Amino acid sequence: MSRKQKQTMNMIEGSLGDKILRFAVPLAITGILQQIFNATDVAVVGQFAGKNAMAAVGSNSPVVGLMVNLFVGVSLGANVVISRFTGQRNPDGIRRGVHTAVLVALITGVLVAVFGVLISRPMLELLGVPASIMPMALAYLRIYLLGMPVILLYNFESSIFRSQGDTKTPLLCLIAAGLLNVALNLFFVIVLNMTADGVATATVISNTVSSGLMFLVLCRTKTQIRIRFRDFRIDRGILKVMLQIGLPAGLQGMVFSISNLCIQSALNSLGPDVIAASSAAFNIEIVAYYIINAFGQAETTFIGQNSGARKPERCRRVIRIGLVQDLIFTALLCAGIIWFAVPLLRLFNTDPVVVHYGQIRIVYILSFEVINALIEGFSGVLRGFGRSLAPALVALFGICGTRIFWVFFVFRNHPDFKLLILCFPISWAITAGILILYYLLIRRRLFAGIAPAGVH
C-alpha cells in the first residue's frame, strides 16, 4: 500500500461501520481534548485567580462562539466541496478547493479580528457583564479575537484533512498545541500573576502552533491536498459553492450563539456564582456535544463523497449507521458525566454554591442531549447532500426563536436558574421534530438527484 493510500480513507467502497467509527472517534477525541485544553483556562483562573476571573472567562463563551461559528460553517462547506471532488476523482478540483479554503481562512480571520476588537466592549455591555468582572472579561475577549486568523486557519485545515478521511493529523497537532496551552496557562497565571488575559494569551499561542503544524504537513504531504505557494488563489466558482453550503451551516451555528447570548445575559442577571457555575458546567457538558458533532461531520463527509460518486444506496447506509452509532455513544457519555458531575465540577471551583448550580445545569442538559444528536445528525446528512439552508432556517425558528421567547417571556416573569436551563431541551425537541419531518418529506428527491444515469 502506498503512502498516499495510507493517509486517506476510501469512503466510496468497502465497509462503512468501522470506517465511520475510524473517522468520528479521532474527530470526537480532537474536540474533547480541545475542550479540555480550553477548560484549563477556566480551571486555572478558578483555582489560582478566583471565581471572578473564572466568571470573566466564562462570560465570553457566547461572544466567542458568535464570532467563530459563521466561519467554522464555511469550513464545513470546504469539506463538502473537497469531498465531492474526491468522490469524483478530480485532483484539479481538490487542488483548487484546498488553496481557496486556506486563503479564505486567513482573510476572514483578519477581518473578524479587526471587527471583533472594535465591538468587544459594546458587546459585553449589551450582555450585562457585571462591572466587577468587566475589565478582565474585556481583556480576555480582545486578546482572543486577535488570534482569530490562526484559529480559523486551524478549522479550515482540519476540514481539508477530514475531506480525505484523515482525522488523526488534526488530533496529533492539537495534542502538541494543547499541552503547550496547559503549560502556558500555569506559567502566565501562577508565575506572572496574570488573570484572564494570561489564559487568553496562552490560547492564542497554542492555536498558532496547531495551525502552523498542520500547514507544514499540508506543504509536505504527497497526497492530493498538498499546498504549493504558486497555486494560492481564490477560485470564484469553488468559493461560491463553499459559501452556498457553508454560510447556512455557519448561520446555523450563529443561531445557537445568538440564542446563547440571550441566555448568557439572563445568567449574568443571577450574579457571579451562577455565571461561574454555568461556565464550569458548560466546559464539562460540551464534551458530549463533540461526540454528536463528530458523527454529524462524518455523515457530511461520507455522504459528500458518495453523492459525488453517485452511490445513493451507500448514502442510505451512512445515515442509518451514523445515527445509531451517534445515539449510543452520546447516551453512554452523558450518563457517565452526570454520574461524576460533582467531582468534575470541583476541578474548576470548590465553592459549594458554584458546584450546586453547576450540577443542576449538567443534569438538566445532558439528560436530553440525545435529542441534540438527532439535530446534528440530520443537519450533517442534509449538508452532505448540499442542503444547508433548511437546517439553518429550522434552527433559526426552533432553537433561536424558542430560547429568545423563553428568556424574554418565561424567565423574565420567573427569574429562576432551573427554569432558564429548561429552554435547552425544549428548543431541541421542537427543532428535532421539524428537521426530521423535513428530511422525510424531501428524502426521495435527495436520492433521486444522485442516482446513476439511467437509474430511476
The grid cell for 344 is 468534575
Q: Helix/strand/coil (H, E, C) string of 226-248?
A: CCCHHHCCCCHHHHHHHHHHHHH
Per-residue pLDDT, 286:
84
Contacts of 85 (CB under 8 A, 6+ apart): 91, 93, 94, 97, 308
What digits encode the pLDDT tens for the residues 89-110?
Answer: 888 888 998 999 999 889 988 9
Question: With b meaning 16 or more CB within 10 Å and e meaning fewer, what string describes 45-77?
Answer: bbbbbbbbbbbbbbbbbbbbbbbbbbbbbbbbb
Tell me the CA end-to-end span of the chain in Å, nearest whole number.
Answer: 37
Residue 228 neighbours by CB distance under 10 Å: 11
Per-residue pLDDT, 323:
93
User: pLDDT in tens for each of the 456 residues of the chain?
Assistant: 344 444 567 878 888 889 999 888 888 888 787 777 767 777 777 666 666 776 777 666 667 766 677 777 778 788 888 888 887 788 888 899 899 999 988 998 898 888 888 877 887 777 777 777 788 888 888 898 889 899 889 888 988 998 888 888 888 898 888 889 889 988 888 888 777 788 889 889 998 999 999 999 999 988 888 889 888 888 888 888 888 878 777 777 777 777 777 887 888 888 888 888 888 898 888 888 889 988 998 998 899 888 888 888 899 999 999 999 999 999 999 999 999 999 999 988 888 999 999 999 999 999 999 999 999 999 989 988 888 788 888 888 888 889 989 998 999 888 899 999 999 999 999 999 999 999 999 998 888 877 664 444
Minimal CA–CA distance to 419: which of 303, 292, 217, 270?
270
Per-residue pLDDT, 81:
86
Minimal CA–CA distance to 358: which of 262, 282, 253?
282
CB 263 within 8 Å of CB 63:
no
Per-residue pLDDT, 268:
81
Q: 119: exposed, middle or buried (C-beta count within 10 Å: 0-12, 13-18, 19+)?
A: middle
CB 364 within 8 Å of CB 421:
yes
The answer, as to whether pTM is greater than 0.95, is no
CA distance 38 to 103: 26
In this structure, what are the phi and psi dihedrals at residue 121, rounded to the nearest 5 degrees?
A: -65, -50
CB 263 within 8 Å of CB 278:
no
